[in-house]
Amino acid sequence: MNIIKKLIDEGITFHKNNKLNDAKIKYLEVLKLDQKNFQIKRLLALIEYSLENHSNSLKLFGECIKINPNNSDSYSDRGVVYHKLKETQNAERDYLKAIDIDNNTNALFNYANLLKENNKLNEAVTNYNLAIKAKPNYANAYQNRGLVKFLQHKHQEALNDFNEVIRINYNHANARFLKSAIELKKENLIEGFKNYEWRWKSSLFFSKIRNFNKRTWDGIEDIKNKTILLYSEQGLGDQIHFIRFVNLIVEKDANVIVEVDPRLLKLFNHTTNFKKIYSQGDKLPNFDLQCPIMSLPYKLKIDINSIPNKPYLKCNTENIDKWKKLLDKNYKNIGINWQGGVDPRQDAGRSFKLENFEEISKIDGIKLFSLQKINGVDQIKNKKYKFNLNIIDNLDSDAPFVDSAELISNLDLVITSDTSIAHLSGALGKKTFLVIQKYAEWRWFENRSDSPWYPNMKIFRQKIDGDWKSVFSEMKDNLIKLFK
């Protein structure tokens, strides 16, 4: 057998089996014998990219282009390297060159991705369209076009694209996960939570599924007298929101073990009747079955009309009473919160400035109390001179949300951004004004001013994206009517 062919075959076999360093050795041996082997240079450039040797990858693609200046794949692939390095102009140049040569499908797709990342959404859609026209079953192009449509709030068009991906690949986890957000937003909880189960396999989901080496409860098996672990996931607000479903499992006469974020252990010990609550990382007792808490709505077949929405957290009377001395019964006492986290993946558009409360603070007969912790507290110092905001020192110094829960139980109203305080106040059954952006996340549904999750909640939603002023003006009118 020809030695070069033998080396190429061995290299390609290694490459296909993702043994990249072994493949690289074989390709380098080929290039010692055949320095201008275009295909091997290109394969080696791809390996260097995968190994994050970006400068080597760029050099090799450059050599490929010198050997064959009309090969569109080399330009398209080099564009991917520049794209990874955030050298946007170079990436765009190479993508457009590949498209100009022969309408390279991968270049169309990758250029569309570049446009999407730079918020040129209409141009991105145009290029996804061209990629799909060239390759009708291009699942990733449908998925990414659907994601752009979702970002443009064209939900039905996005749903059509995700359905097309699933037609091409029934088990496409990203498409099903993205589809779930739209179905849930449209109040189709049955299908939405069913597709939400694909989160664990989706590359778009931040968390990884836990491995307990015990069966996951399927929602059908009788769990009477069996021990089941229900474990929390995602953010603190998610955990407070979904802990309600544990009660439905307790009602099935199961022996329930609840595992929560360590920061919430004391809160749930103080406000629920769950007998066995553990922190993540604690040694757990033996159990027969397990289930993530945010999978319970799917397992329990919860729809928009069967959400358990009675208050499900309660502080004991003794702890509530100790806060009463801070409050003046001659006033309506209102707790306020304006800032969630700072991670743009979760908080984008949710938070607003403390200064938005200035006009509300002027309403006769009300007192405002800060429920803000950590993020956003710097605004108090800057704005306090404009209106009187009551600050309680060392609030929650012992454990997150414990003092807040007891204080909230004494307040007349809570006004909050879309953050954990909204769920805490709602779960305690407190009258709550939730202030949200125009295009809020799925759990607040579409165009509703009420919440099926929390009967005592009223939603104030932006009518114009980014316009908080009119939202707070409307809220001020509501407060005057409420407390007159």
pLDDT tens-digit map of 174-193: 999 999 999 999 999 999 99
The answer to whether residues 230 and 258 touch, using CB atoms and an 8 Å cutoff, is yes
Tell me which amino acid residue 116 is. K
C-alpha Rg value of the chain to the nearest Å? 28
Going from the C-alpha of 218 to that of each of 142, 305, 431, the distances in angstroms are: 31, 22, 36
Q: Which has the closest alpha carbon to 287: 357, 231, 236, 235?
A: 231
Count CB-CB contacts under 10 A for residue 27.
Answer: 28
Task: Say how many residues make up the chain.
Answer: 484
The b-or-e profile of 303-327 (16+ CB within 10 A means b, else e) is: beeeeebeebbbbeeeebeebeeeb
Collect all residues with Cβ–Cβ distance below 8 Å to 304 and sequence separation of at least 6. 187, 189, 452
Say if residue 250's pLDDT is above 80: yes
pLDDT level of residue 279 (50, 70, 90 thresholds): very high
Domains of the chain, earliest start first: 3-201 (1.25.40.10), 215-299 (3.40.50), 317-483 (3.40.50.2000)
What is the structure's pLDDT at 342? 66
Closest C-alpha among 422, 191, 221 to residue 297: 191
Instruction: Identify whether the C-beta of residue 294 lies closer than 8 Å to the C-beta of residue 238.
Output: yes
Token pair in block for residue 167? 């037609």
Q: What is the mean pLDDT of residues 327-333?
A: 91
| C-alpha 64, offset from chain centre | 41
Q: 337 and 372 in contact (C-beta within 8 Å)? A: yes
Over residues 372-396, mean pLDDT: 82
Mean pLDDT value of segment 458-476: 95
Work out whether strand 227-231 and strand 289-292 pair parallel, antiparallel, or are unpaired.
Answer: parallel
pLDDT at 6: 77
Nearest residue to 453 (alpha-carbon basis) of 436, 437, 429, 479: 429
| Phi, psi (deg, nearest 5) at residue 227 | -100, 125
pLDDT at 393: 84
Quick one: pLDDT at residue 370?
Answer: 94
pLDDT tens digits, one per residue of 425-455: 999 999 999 999 999 999 999 989 999 999 9
Would you say residue 92 has pLDDT above 90?
A: yes
For 329-340, the three-class secondary structure string (H helix, E strand, C coil) is: CCCEEEEEECCC
Whole-structure pTM value: 0.89
Nearest Cα to 392, choosing from 352, 316, 335, 451? Answer: 335
